[in-house]
Amino acid sequence: MDVVDTWTGRTACLLQEAMRMTNEAFAERLGISPRTISRWHAQPEMVHRTEVQQILDIAYREAGEEVQRRLALLLRPPAPRMEAQALRVAIAVVLRGDEVLLVCRRGDGELRWQFPAGMVKPGVDPSTVAVQETHGETGVHCTVRDQLGERIHPVTGVMASYFLADHLAGDATNRDPVENIDVTWVPRSALTRFIPQEQIYPPILNALEAIA
């Protein structure tokens, strides 16, 4: 194994850790004072003078392969930290004239009407998921008109991205009978009969009211 190019306070202390020695034992091994070892711990960026570099080189070579392997592991840069990504769903509010597309889902022993939605995998555009999931669930082709915003969903606790979309083609059919009971178009004016108003993301209601 290669000798450390330049010994610093940090690398010298890592050698001490690899040798599993106390400050006193390490100082005795190197022939220096324990106070000097304590200073290395306090000043990890310090670069040792030439004679100390040589002492540490000798200690490293004489430590044996097991210590050298442990030191090599300690010197490895830390693996990049992977940030956990919050669960995200994309929700499509699809319009066809004066109607809105809804699906009726099974869950928790009851049926709930809601907008087509799907989980967003890392690196995937939520608007693309909204379009794809709408077609996958209902057979309806749509195109995103606008993003209505995002929020932590008050029921599921996941991040929800909302998109206003326009119907392009396709009849509404239940293409996911495992998850859904029914799929239908409902008049915008009747939306709150299917989904309680307090459960609807306010920008959705604002967008629907603004459409002539």
Average pLDDT, the chain: 88
CB 170 within 8 A of CB 137: no
By DSSP bridging, strand 99-107 and strand 110-114 are antiparallel
The least confident of 39-53, 69-83, 126-140 is 69-83
How confident is the model over 110-126, as a mean pLDDT?
Answer: 90
By the 10 Å C-beta count (0-12 exposed, 13-18 middle, 19+ buried), 64 is classed as exposed
The CA distance from 27 to 42, in Å, is 15
How confident is the model over 66-81, as a mean pLDDT?
Answer: 82
Model pLDDT for residues 170-211, shown as the tens digit of each residue = 999 999 888 889 999 999 999 999 999 888 999 999 999 887
Verdict on whether the full-model pTM lies above 0.85: no
**Ranges of each domain in the chain:** 9-75, 88-210
Copy the structure tokens of residue 56.
Answer: 């540490």
Tell me: domain 88-210, CATH 3.30.70.420, correct? no
| 212, pLDDT greater than 70 | no
How would residue 107 be classed by pLDDT, with cut points 50, 70 and 90? low
Only one residue has tokens 């004072």, namely: 33
Q: Which ranges of the chain does DSSP label H, i.e. alpha helix? A: 9-19, 23-30, 34-42, 50-62, 65-75, 126-138, 191-194, 202-210
How confident is the model over 56-84, as a mean pLDDT?
Answer: 81
What's the pLDDT at 186? 95
